[in-house]
Amino acid sequence: DNMSDLIHSNGVLVIHHLQKNYRDYLDFLNFMSSVGDPRNILSVYFPLWFQLSQIVGTKMIWVAVIGDWFNLIFKWILFGHRPYWWVQEALLHQNNSLPQLEQFPITCETGPGSPSGHAMGSSCVWYVMVTSALSFTRAHRDNSQNKLHRLTWSILWMAFWVIQVSVCISRVFIATHFPHQVVLGVFAGMLVAEAFEHIPAIQTASLKVYITTNLFLFFFALGFYLILKMIDIDLLWSVPKAKKWCANPEWIHFDTTPFAGLVRNLGALFGLGLAINSQMFLQSCRGKNGYKTSFKLMCIATTLTTLQFYDFIKIPTHTELLFYVLSFVKSAVVPLTVVALIPYCIHLLMGCSDKKLD
């Protein structure tokens, strides 16, 4: 229809303008795209925050997982095109004067484009970080610190918007998203994060709650997919478009498909549930060592280092089912490592060194 064509063709003009005039900022924009990548939540933000505050770390995983799940459902409902293929098809159908868009190694995402998962993931996690930092300063202030609190408030929210705008511009610049898709993503992410400010029950959730939530999210998404498939709506319609219009076949990554993200998230949530309800976690993080700064710093340093190596584990993509199972396991191992395994090992080491001193 004309309205959506107008929105899309204006979006293409914006992308072309960015690509033509801001080419020098390519490295910065690529970096901002990785700052917004939902996969970095697990390997960078979560290990840092979990040791600083278990409440914030736990909330972060819940918000990221539920946010990404909503993102998937919205993508399936909204059928959003991505600029790098839409512009090619528009150029085929009508001899209009739309510009050619350039593609980059991270352009060829295979899922539908609306709302942007990067924008949504980035805004929901940074929203959690900013509101948590502010509630922390709010809890420790008296009247003389009101000014300081207001200043902190302004600085943190300004930083929040600078990061969101940069992530959005980077996603638009590489022709992965139209401008309206990233804007939608940012506000949807903030809504999800705000909702979790009012659900304190996640902090005390039992393993049963984690497993039930996992099963619900999985079967709802699967059921939704199958029902639409029965009425002849193929939710994987975007994958052939990506394969057809991507400038370089090597840039198409199997792990950007809708189900890959779902499985990754369910793995992370399951791993967190296992870890938080484990004896290892209770003895280390909840024990007397858990309050020591030295213990926390050692945990942060060790987990961040360990998780860097973890990226070298590549999952074979030749069998779809095997890929999804291993993806689930790989994601579950991250919170287990961060929350239970490494803190427990450090707890044992500190115990040994304490005994030697005695």
What positions carry a catalytic annotation? 118, 177
Q: Per the structure block, which two tokens stand in for 348?
A: 């044992």
* Closest listed residue to residue 182, CA positions, set 95, 123, 105: 123
How far is it, in rounded angstroms, from Cα 301 to Cα 163? 25
Q: Which residues 6+ apart lie within 8 Å of 217 measured at CB?
A: 65, 66, 69, 262, 265, 266, 269
How far is it, in rounded angstroms, from Cα 326 to Cα 342? 22
How is residue 292 annotated by DSSP? -
DSSP string across 199-263: -GGGGG--HHHHHHHHHHHHHHHHHHHHHHHHTT--TTTHHHHHHHH-S-GGG--GGGSHHHHHH
* Closest listed residue to residue 129, CA positions, set 43, 48, 201: 48
Question: By CB neighbour count within 10 A (0-12 exposed, 13-18 middle, 19+ buried), where does 237 fall?
Answer: exposed
